[in-house]
A and B are shown apart, each in its own frame.
Chain A
């Protein structure tokens, strides 16, 4: 929450859904809120003020969950997630990869469903709205035909990096139940409400603005490369400790020849792998028109780079906004946005084999020698790896406001196309070339209508009635071809070259019909009450249960106006409470028909889908995915929120405290069944998870010398804990591979053996929890958390005359990771012979940077599997504090220079910013953010690079 920095925050959303304006009850209808235009203008003006080092108007310092982007825009952030990170109470963003443009996760007030692997992540993400347009997200159904969910099929681009973040005015995090209820089932996980410049809210005297920034990224730390003799010595210690023979029998082939310079020579691969990258941003906008009609045209280009493996992300975008007011009462707004994004991906073996699903011989890993590695990289000159996402979205909105009537209709659409073409030459994989083509799209069309009527009984009692209706049509579609072993590397597509090709087509479709009726009542300026009733129909729910009725209620009491009207110390004080029940969206459409028949069930562990037998298509029960029951209805969430908002000392100190409890109920979960019917799981409804906690935002103006130093500081903090309240059929626990859910416990815990050291003969010892003198699954306990208990951030903004200075800290506390990377490193006896992704050695595996070396030395011939990964030996705390950005800027008021244009505001702002500067953490693996979303640290993700940029903003 950077609000105090800007001091410019104007839109206040508290528990009630509306605010009053000149005594008249006015809906905070976010799709079309005329007042907001004025507000946003003020916002922009205040932003400028701030830069110019002017006194921030005290009046505007208010506390809420809107992120003011002025300081963030300086950093080379490209995604919504990056903007939110550490900036709003209750939002936890994990950017677990420094490779630019990759998928990031954001969650609001915890998670309602467990994250066991990457495909579980989309289910806990909030909805993102741009000027009221709910953006469509990628659907995890593309994972279904793949064996590994390391990357989604296709480009794997972060869809929310495709927005034009430089055009954003504010980002609001909507957590309040009553407001979410107004948005409907799409927003049950919370909503990110982005407001952009749209011509109407830009200062009227500003015609053209230019932003240019350029910077570099570089690795954050020194790498300690290793070669095979290091690995040899590492392994030897295990055999020496138990007087075991250590010779070629115990060693993989690449150790056999100690004179091999590739393995045993200089490990100078880092020079070829790590490197500096360049990045930039440039955008320009032009605005025209007057009161009746105006437009804004904006174009931009952005490049982000990673500090390893020559990864980068590139985006070009244009947008066009038109506002028209043909009549005083009628307003039309339209937007059209287009962007194209492309990504240079990493060259990890893991990512490549996960895509090809073909394993070559892994017994000889890549050598740590720089020249050998460069030779290998030169093979990549032949490759094609094109990853493009194209976006087009927009809307037309009509709003009619006459006296007490207000109605309108909106048509909104969002469409993005995801295209990937890969060609990997035969030289990269045992003379097997590989081609894959993915072409997918996500499409959402929304039609909305609303109407409201306000009536006042008298000055004291005011009412407003509002009806909303919307129809959402979603379609996700893809076409995927993979092909192997062409006759020659000159054929880079499947058109020729006799490739062995496999084709897949699939789509997911959904329709959501919503309607709601809202009644609001206001008594003087003291009390507001709201009730909202929803009736929603959803195609993914079985037909006899697809309609859901949900209510919500809210009340807000202005304590200041009640009792403290005269108080000087208390500028504002209010208390609000709201409760809502909202339906939840279902991930997959397959539940809508009950226990279905599907193709592609003939596969087995380690084998991707095979749809046919003897070349005949097959249809069977979905033994692999699971039985889905007939009575699957709507899951829903009950959300309760209590707000206390206050500001004191003429608004110099503002604070907001929210206590919340979210109960997500009747969720679908796969439950293990007796295995004697061929199914592993059946899908049942009845999982209840509760998330409860508190959000706190405190912001203040610490120093406010009119002509001297000003210091604004703001702190946001969230405490959250989740608990599994119930499982279907009254079951009390449920295991899912290496994870377990237990009623009464958190859903983000690890399930581990408790390591108790070592026996005399070098076997591992684990706690015999149930005292049956054997160690098995029953002795595993739930331990640690993948989600932090505390998250938050601290922003500080200083201005001195024309200078400003800003730094941002953020933190997450109380979560853990399982150091799988170390488990695999120590478990080499198991890993050696395996032909699996887990056993892969990448080029960057040849380093001893950031690793723990104090694990017990077990007997390498032990039958107890001493270095198994599911034990607390590898569990580590992840709490961290990071200095994320430091920036400094200087502002020139150019209009003063030339007297002719004195009336036109021209200004130039130059700045420098540094990112990812410093981390405080006890995690042995380095950056604690780089843990997979399920809490496993595998060491594959790239470091978030240190970056330096300089830029200027010029308005005239």
Chain B
């Protein structure tokens, strides 16, 4: 018995000893392998730039980041529509501060809007793409050189777009043209707005020939999709022209505006852009819908989409004008946060034939294309009204699938009219001006009869037309500035233009982390 015990013991001892030894040896050999675990939710530098899908996901990332920059705290409308604009704020003190230009009020929303980080994320992503995407050519044959060309052109154009957008908000901003993707985080000081815009223009001019009207053909598809699929989605040749036109207009270089807008109007058919009738513009499945129908999607000359899809993928609660403007009976919210008051509506829309806001000749009721709930104290501004994918029946689950439409043909047409007047070609301006009016149920006006050949009057009328046509599309504030630069009839605003008060202050976080920056003079 004892010997058996001993033998057992020895055997066990040897087995265990052997096990220990083996496991030690094994672990020493294979340690490093065991410890090589790729994170599930992150790709390393080596993993990122290998396949055609990597290029696509990085490119779409730039679009997505641009969208986020405009959508954060509804910046597109805070900066474009609220400031001294036509919207009345019902209750929110932060939005009231924007309307009254009290932008340094201690407030979370104002701080966030005045931080330009979101734009620079898109700019950085674009720079990284431009620098790194070409290496995919060697690694993946299905990534064609022509696709790379399209992609890089879009990245550069989007970067220019972000710079232009920032210059409108902050004036002078740091101009960073490379990715510096090495953790150095160099501090860049501000470059004059002019330099930044020149850079943006230069970039656009360089890529404008590479950008197509339509992406791919049915034979040679762009990222496996037909050209129609991409309409109204990507930055095309005319998007670039439109952006160039707006940069020129912001700089007061109306000669260029005239050239560029002419080009756009002449070639609009190439991207299937047309004027949009009022129903197609304002119905929930209309132009502002991210998944708008094939017939009109080309009319979004440049837009950032939030497709709802069947999966509800990108439609969001914030990042849309509807978040603040819609209310009962369209959504389950008692009152809107902001609205265009009845007084403003009556002042702005003087002609009751206006299809946007006027009186229906048959029913004698107010037209509801722009506004509804006129019989209540607070009307609801519903020009942009895309709940889910626009076909929501009861207005609950109010996530919005509207796109941020930067520009469409009507806007370009009015910009052209503005340019022509500025170039003292008032008579020629009548056509683009009337083109828009006619689609909105208004009568043709004549340079002589209606304006007495007074360019000032005409220009005023053009800006009034922009005010009506582009209400809620993020233009009002910038339009007022351009208008003021030419007409110079409002001393307060003129002073703001001169002392930099039209720009936003820089967020404290921005100032804290870059010693090269100082607060914009007006807000010091």
A positions within 8 Å CB-CB of B:
141, 144, 252-253, 327, 329-330, 358-361, 363-364, 398, 400, 402, 405, 407-409, 426, 430-432, 447, 449, 451, 469, 471, 484-485, 500-502, 506-511, 513, 515, 537-539, 543, 546, 589-590, 592-599, 601-607, 610, 612-623, 627, 629-630, 672-680, 682, 735, 776-777, 829-830, 832-834, 863-865, 868
Contacts and interface: CB of A to CB of B under 8 A. Distances in A.
A834 to B, nearest CB: 7
Contacts of B69: 604
Contacts of A402: 9, 13
B185 A677 contact: yes
Given A408-B16, A590-B42, A620-B62, 9 more contacts: A398-B16, A430-B332, A537-B32, A597-B45, A606-B73, A677-B120, A677-B124, A678-B65, A735-B509
B120 A589 contact: no
Interface residues of B, number: 105
Contact of B508 (A330, A363, A407, A777): A777
B125 interface: yes
Contacts of B375: none
Contacts of A589: 37, 39-40, 42
B43 interface: yes
B16 A511 contact: no
A837 to B, nearest CB: 13
B56 A616 contact: yes
Contact of A615 (B27, B125, B314): B314
Nearest to A506: B41
Contacts of A602: 61, 64-65, 67-68
Contacts of A513: 27, 31, 34-35
Nearest to A408: B16
A590 B42 CA distance: 6
B361 interface: no
| Ranked 7 nearest A-B pairs via Cβ | A678-B121, A596-B42, A500-B312, A604-B72, A613-B64, A602-B64, A620-B61
A407 B71 contact: no
Interface stretch (B85-93, B264-272, B405-413, B456-464): B85-93
Given A500-B397, A678-B117, A594 B44 contact: yes
Interface in B22-54: 23-24, 27, 31-32, 34-45, 47-48, 53-54
B60 A593 contact: no
A863 B93 CA distance: 10
B63 to A, nearest CB: 5
A612 B313 contact: yes
A674 B187 contact: yes
B39 A590 contact: yes
B346 interface: no
A597 to B, nearest CB: 5
10 contacts: A330-B12, A507-B40, A511-B35, A629-B183, A677-B124, A677-B180, A678-B124, A680-B117, A682-B183, A833-B92
B205 interface: no
Interface stretch (B105-113, B135-143, B240-248, B435-443): B105-113
B390 interface: no
A614 B44 contact: no
B334 interface: yes
Interface in B286-324: 305, 307, 309, 311-314, 316-319
A605 B125 contact: no
B334 to A, nearest CB: 5
B232 to A, nearest CB: 10
A360 B117 CA distance: 29
A847 B389 CA distance: 42
B348 interface: no
B68 A603 contact: yes
Nearest to A631: B183
A864 B106 contact: yes
B261 interface: no
A327 B8 contact: yes
B447 interface: no
A252 B335 CA distance: 11
Contacts of A620: 58, 61-62, 64-65, 121, 125
A252 B334 CA distance: 11
A616 B225 CA distance: 12
B45 A606 contact: no
B85 to A, nearest CB: 18
Interface in B2-27: 5, 8-9, 12-13, 16-17, 19-20, 23-24, 27
Contact of A539 (B23, B36, B514): B36
Nearest to A474: B37
B20 A449 contact: yes
B185 A682 contact: yes
A431 B332 contact: yes
Contact of B514 (A615, A674, A678): A674
Residue among B112, B185, B187 with the highest chain A CB neighbour number at 10 A:
B185
Contacts of A141: 41
Residue among A141, A364, A538, A830 having the largest count of chain B Cβ atoms under 10 Å: A830
Nearest to B314: A610
Contacts of A447: 23
Nearest to B510: A675
B65 A619 contact: no
B418 interface: no
B174 interface: yes
Nearest to B20: A449
A469 B27 contact: yes
B374 interface: no
Contacts of A612: 60, 64, 313-314
Nearest to B179: A677
Contacts of A426: 396
B123 interface: yes
Nearest to B34: A511
Contacts of B40: 506-509, 589
B60 A613 contact: yes
Contacts of A253: 334-335
B425 interface: no
A489 to B, nearest CB: 12
A560 to B, nearest CB: 39
Contacts of B107: 830, 865
B83 to A, nearest CB: 17
Contacts of A596: 39, 42-45
A589 B312 CA distance: 30
Contact of B314 (A409, A593, A613, A622): A613
B125 A678 contact: yes
A629 B388 CA distance: 40
A676 B508 contact: no
A532 B192 CA distance: 62
Interface in B146-204: 174, 176, 180-181, 183, 185-188
B27 A833 contact: no
Residue of B36, B41, B68 most packed against chain A (CB within 10 A): B41
B73 A618 contact: no
Name the residue among B53, B94, B106 with the largest chain A CB count within 10 angstroms: B106
